[in-house]
Amino acid sequence: MTQIDQKSAVSRQVRIDLTELTAAHSVDNLLRFLRQAVVDVSEGALLAATYRFSEPAVQILSPQTLSKRDLDRIKSDMQGGLGDRATWGQESNYLAGEINGQLEEDYHFNTTAALKSGWAVQITVSGKPLGLLYLGELDTGKAAEGESLLRLFTQSFGELLKMLWELGQGEKLRYAALLAKSIDGIVMCDSEQKIRLLNRAAYRLLGLQEGGEFVGKPLDQLGREYLVRCVEEAEAQHLNEVNKVVTLQAGESRYLGVHTELLKDPAGREIGWMILLRDVTSNWQRDQMRSALTVASHEIKTPLNSISGAIDLLLEQDLGELNEKQHQCISIIKDDISRLNRLLSDILDLARIDEGVQFVNRRKQIALSYLVNKVVASFELLARTKNLQVHNCIPRKIPNFKGDRDRLQQVLANLLENAIKFSLPGGKIEIGAELKQSVLTCWVRDFG
């Protein structure tokens, strides 16, 4: 293992800045691409090695089999490419070698040296040193032509950077297209709270004029203090995420859900914040409606239960005897109250549907003619006020079937009520049904 001495100066004043590309790619993927691109662009005349200061090994990609002497030379040349400790801020360590994906102890070395010369180049991200790119000229059997490594690299470096740029731009365009189509607003800022990304939905949800120049500016320049507060709260309490609901504008019943999440790179280093925005007004309105339904249902159930208890006393004739007509009318009221209670229970279940409440299966045997008689009886007094005759025209051949009695009774009652309302005095109303090919059709006919 070769010990790295970090006191020597960088061999040449050349740097590759990967700042733009690290926004779309992990550093490891970029270094892997750099190695492959050097070999491909030089058509096998160069090998490429990269060293990242946070890693314990130099990664080498070589189109030719190397000797142990070649490996030692690469390590030695890369030693010369390291800056002083004040620049890199790292203690000296031992450098292992990995060649074409194999550790040096597993690599089958050649006995003949293939490396002719080498050159180390600094790699930086946002002005900070990340590591080194090493280019090694291989012996291809051709006669040397002056400083051939420098010539090869000069010819290929422009094409290499063009490939890197196209890679970065292609990914940026792809991600930009995905983010533009997102219905959620997305704001990304770095660890200094400078905006790095603001998609179209974010402009809309934050009420910003689309096309405004905010990227690169501090987060507080958006004029939305709640975004800054979310980030500062997460930083102060060392939280990875914070969720808030805020009003979009004063005086409006519109609400914005704000999810703030800490972003980390593949090495676990904190690199900034992602803020997801979503209009949760409909969710809030649904919660309010659910709450109102629950309260209203309970408030209606209380007097209904009292009325039901009083009717039971009347039907049991504890308060005096009833004639046949009185008993019939009170029985109808009792049935309708029971049906209303069941409907209210369904409303309460509906209000809790998000909690996974299962509706009771109310499918039971229904005798349609009997059910229609109950509906007609409940509207007998109302029909009598307009001197209307209501006829049950259900054919006897209609068989019993399974269904929701309450729902069917409710539908027929609504239709009959409308028929009575729009019929001329002294007319008639008919309720009938028809069975064709296992399909039962019920109808209410008036002559208004």
Report, as an integer, the average pLDDT of 312-317: 79
Each as own residue / partner, the long-range contacts of residues 396-402 (CB below 8 Å, 24 or more positions apart, any chain) are 396/369, 397/435, 398/368, 398/369, 398/433, 398/435, 398/440, 399/435, 400/365, 400/366, 400/367, 400/368, 401/365, 401/366, 401/368, 401/440, 402/363, 402/364, 402/365, 402/366
Average pLDDT value over all residues in the chain: 76
Q: How many CA atoms lie within 13 A of 197 on its CB side?
A: 22
Q: How confident is the model at residue 52 (pLDDT cuts 50, 70, 90)?
A: confident
Q: How confident is the model at residue 391 (pLDDT cuts 50, 70, 90)?
A: very high
Q: Which CATH architecture has domain 281-360?
A: Orthogonal Bundle (1.10)
The answer for 425, left when phi > 0, alpha when psi is -120 to 50, beta otherwise, is: beta
| pLDDT attached to residue 9 | 30
Fold of the domain spanning 362-448: Heat Shock Protein 90 (3.30.565)
| pLDDT attached to residue 281 | 80
Q: What is the pTM of this model?
A: 0.40
C-alpha pair distances (Å), 420 with each of 225, 328, 330, 447: 61, 21, 22, 10
| pLDDT attached to residue 433 | 92
The percent of residues above 70 in pLDDT, for the chain, comes to: 75
Q: Do 394 and 372 contact (CB within 8 A), yes or no?
A: yes
Residue 341 has pLDDT above 70, yes or no: yes
Q: What is the pLDDT of residues 30-44, one digit of tens each?
A: 788 778 877 877 778
Pick from 97-111, 175-189, 231-245, 422-436: least confident: 175-189
| pLDDT attached to residue 68 | 92
Residue 147 has pLDDT above 60, yes or no: no
Q: How confident is the model at residue 392 (pLDDT cuts 50, 70, 90)?
A: very high
Residue 363 has pLDDT above 60, yes or no: yes
Q: What is the pLDDT of residues 244-273, one digit of tens each?
A: 777 766 555 678 888 888 888 666 778 888
| pLDDT attached to residue 82 | 57
| pLDDT attached to residue 62 | 93
Helix, strand or coil for residue 11? coil
Helix, strand or coil for residue 377? helix
C-alpha pair distances (Å), 179 with each of 20, 50, 184, 188: 18, 33, 9, 11
Residue 66 has pLDDT above 90, yes or no: yes
Q: How confident is the model at residue 10 (pLDDT cuts 50, 70, 90)?
A: very low
How far the first Cα of the chain sits from its last, in Å, is: 103
d(CA 26, CA 306): 70
d(CA 279, CA 206): 10
| pLDDT attached to residue 352 | 63
Q: Which CATH class is domain 182-279?
A: alpha beta
| pLDDT attached to residue 120 | 77
Tokens 């040296």 correspond to: 113
Residue 153 has pLDDT above 70, yes or no: no
Nearest-CA neighbor of 133 among 149, 118, 122, 125?
122
Helix then strand then coil, % of the chain, to nearest 5: 45, 25, 30
The percent of residues above 90 in pLDDT, for the chain, comes to: 11
More confident residue, 127 or 190: 190
Q: What is the pLDDT of residues 166-200, one digit of tens each?
A: 555 555 555 566 666 677 888 888 888 888 888 88
Q: How confident is the model at residue 26 (pLDDT cuts 50, 70, 90)?
A: low
Pick from 98-107, 246-255, 321-330, 410-419: least confident: 246-255
| pLDDT attached to residue 7 | 33
Residue 431 has pLDDT above 80, yes or no: yes
Domain locations in the chain?
2-174, 182-279, 281-360, 362-448
Residue 86 has pLDDT above 60, yes or no: no
Q: How confident is the model at residue 11 (pLDDT cuts 50, 70, 90)?
A: very low
Residue 143 has pLDDT above 70, yes or no: no
